[in-house]
Amino acid sequence: MVAYRGISGHRLSIEVKERRLYPGSKVELTPFIAKHYDQLLDLISFGSYSPFISRAIADVEIQTADSILDLGCGTGRNASLMLRHLGPVGKILGLDLSPIMQQRFEETFRDHQRVSFRRQRIDVPFELGEKFDLVFMSFVLHGFPQQVRKIILENIIHHLKPRGRLAILDYAEFNLNDTSFVFRWVFRKFECSYALDFIKYDWKKILGESGFKFEYERFYFRNLLRLLKIKLI
């Protein structure tokens, strides 16, 4: 499942004609947005997204032999950055629902046998037939209702090796009223309604109750965004 992330990770409000599974979400993209996804991210973020995501992926501390599951992989931009940290036996599998994203992803990695793509919903139970050292998810989880987020976490647990790691790059926990007027306006204007409750949850507690052990967190953009890294117990 993919999402259009604007500056600092918020999603641009796009009206699509197809029936939405989650009316309060913005995980569904028009073909135009999907086709020009990366360019629009750079444009809306005034060029700040590229250095931010490069730094965040470096902070994940990927191991050279990791097998990585990239949930909501989009065009493969994040996978390209992760690939730089992998050695000869490391590999990446990207999951996404969009056929346009699939085309872009497969074009990017057509000469890389260690990077593959599968069209797959992440909000329903699924079986990939293998386990991974690391699951990476960037600005995806907040775009779903809480009960669906729990299904996604169950899918992650099912596909992690023992003591496997999960890296979630998304909004941190904060009080929206304590942020700047500009950020509040942008967040309420462009972000999906599910993000309003996402920022209120204690995700370290939720993940701990799900069987994970907290490892570390990194904050970005005045502590509004966070990389949360945890390990399956």
User: For the chain, what is the domain count?
Assistant: 1
CATH number where 57 lies: 3.40.50.150
Residue 143 lies in a domain: yes
Residue 1 lies in a domain: no
Residue 93 lies in a domain: yes
Residue 12 lies in a domain: yes
The alpha carbon dihedral of 162, 227, 184, 33 has a sign of negative
E strands, 47-185, in order: 67-71, 91-96, 115-119, 132-138, 160-171
Residue 38 lies in a domain: yes
pLDDT in tens, the chain (233 residues): 434 333 334 333 333 344 567 776 666 665 555 555 655 565 555 566 789 999 999 999 999 999 999 999 999 999 999 999 999 999 999 999 889 889 999 999 999 999 999 999 999 999 999 999 999 999 999 999 999 999 999 999 999 999 999 999 999 999 999 999 988 988 888 788 999 999 999 999 999 999 999 999 999 999 999 999 999 99
Residue 2 lies in a domain: no
Give the structural domain span for 41.
7-232
pLDDT given at position 189: 82
The gap from C-alpha 111 to its chain's centroid, in whole angstroms, comes to 24
The alpha carbon dihedral of 71, 75, 78, 82 has a sign of positive
Amino acid at 127: E
pLDDT given at position 8: 39
